[in-house]
Structure 1
Amino acid sequence: MKTLLKSAALASSLALVTVAAQPALAQDKNGGTIVQGLGIANFDAVLANSNAYKTAEQQRETTYKAQYDQAKQRSEALNAQLKPMIDKFNADRQAANPNQTALQQQAAQIQQLQENGKQEIQRILAPVGLSQAYVNEQIEDKLDAAVKSAMAKKKISILLSPDAILAVNGSAYNLNQDILNELNTAIPSAQLVPPSGWEPRQIREARAQQAAAQGQAAPSTAAQPTGR
């Protein structure tokens, strides 16, 4: 009997220890259980709502006004040039016996003109695109530290993206604002105009990979025996 009582007491003690070791599960306002240490964040939304990003968007309209105006004028001129061509194409296509060869030629001319105009407008707005990439890269460089700081302050050990979640009841796990606060502190504003010759990270990395591949290929090429 004493042995049974001791075993029962030991089992009870172990059960109490196990329960005490479990983390406390909080309840959200909707009555659901909140899992401690878990968070959700949308980095794209955080970046787009940062002070540095929004300020740069406003400044860019003034700094690159000439490019915006030129692109708008070219687009309007292109549309004016295309309209009679498109109207004629549509009218000819609705004829009783449309000339398919002529229609194909008209369509090809319209398509070529549209493509050339698109490329021209892209060249005009290229400085704007570089500015956007430059600002984004400056903010992204501070994002990792901002995320880690927000996670540490909120005691988050696992951070998920919204794409990995099917549904969430309430906003108890949302870490966007906490990360945004850290990011705004780390980078209140960004430099708008990139230095001369600057290239986006993707291009720099592609060049580095290409150079590395060429560097690896050079020794093997040099090691080839010379035939007679």
Structure 2
Amino acid sequence: MTKISKTILKSAAVAMVAMTAPALMSVPAIAQSKSGIAMANYPAAMAKSQAYTVAMTQMQTTYKADIDAINARAAALQTEMKPIVDAYNTAVQKPGATAQSVQPQAQALQTKQQSAKQELSGLRQRIDLATAYVEEQIALKLEAAVKATMKTKNVDLVLSPDAVVAREPHVDITDAIVLELNKLVPSVSITPPAGWEPGKANQPQQPPAAQPASR
């Protein structure tokens, strides 16, 4: 994957896990038994799963035109932005330069950056949607994978990496969660259904509207 698409995927992964993954408890471990505590990195578990890695490989082919277009336009925008950046740097380095004196150059740079961001965002729409679809299909099985791993490892409490100050290697059950994910969701689709929106995959379908009784 390109640097741009990797960033897209990473961002989508974090957002999706935050939305659908079971909450990680951040509590002191002092009152817990050593064997009953574990640490897990949910985003890493999803990214290392078979379904995710295969999907990312497939996307390089299926969405190649989109990826190439993003890379090409990003390179062009960088070229377009260089004289604006140079003008700003020149203004800042002038003796006696102040925030007010460089305001025109700063405003021009900010405007160009925002415009470039919006343009690239538009080009990323299909990739963003496909990535969110991949993430959500895996995330829907994450809670079950975590529970199965906790049962197998005899774990009562799972902490996030941010809540851990020090640990032994065996405390990390991320790879064990990956194995459970591979069982529960060995593969996923990279093509969202028509009308699909992130966060709505697990919602019940609306019942059909009632038809008026025939007379």
- TM-score normalized by the length of structure 1: 0.65
Q: Which runs of 5+ in 1 are unaligned?
A: 1-33, 206-228
Q: Per the alignment, do residues 171 and 93 of structure 1 end up closer, same or farther by CA in structure 2, a change over 3 Å counting? A: closer
Residue among 186, 197, 205 paired with 1:188: 186
Question: Any idea what the Cα deviations from partners look like across 1:152-191, whole Å, max 9, x if unmatched?
Answer: 22222333323332211x3232222222111101111111
SS at match of 1:179: helix
For residues 177-226 of structure 1, give each alpha carbon's deviation from its aligned partner in whole angstroms, at most 9, with x where no partner exists.
Answer: 22211110111111112112211118999xxxxxxxxxxxxxxxxxxxxx
* Structure-to-structure mapping, 1:67-82, within 5 angstroms: 67-82=66-81
| Residue equivalent to 1:41 | 40
Structure 2 length-normalised TM: 0.69
Partner of 1:198: 196
Deviation at 1:102, TM superposition (A): 7.3
Cα distance in 2 between the residues matched to 1:128 and 1:115: 20
Matches within 5 A, 1:137-176: 137-168=136-167, 170-176=168-174
Provide the rounded CA distance (Å) in 2 between the counterparts of 1:140 and 1:97.
Answer: 55
Greater length-normalized contact order (CA 8 Å, ≥ 6 residues apart): 2
Give 3-state SS (helix, strand or coil) of 2:169's partner.
Answer: coil
Tell me how large the CA RMSD over aligned residues is: 2.8
Count of equivalent residues: 171
Give the C-alpha shift of residue 103 in structure 1: 4.0
Quick one: which amino acid aligns to residue 132 of structure 1?
Answer: T
Q: Which runs of 5+ in 2 are unaligned?
A: 1-32, 204-215
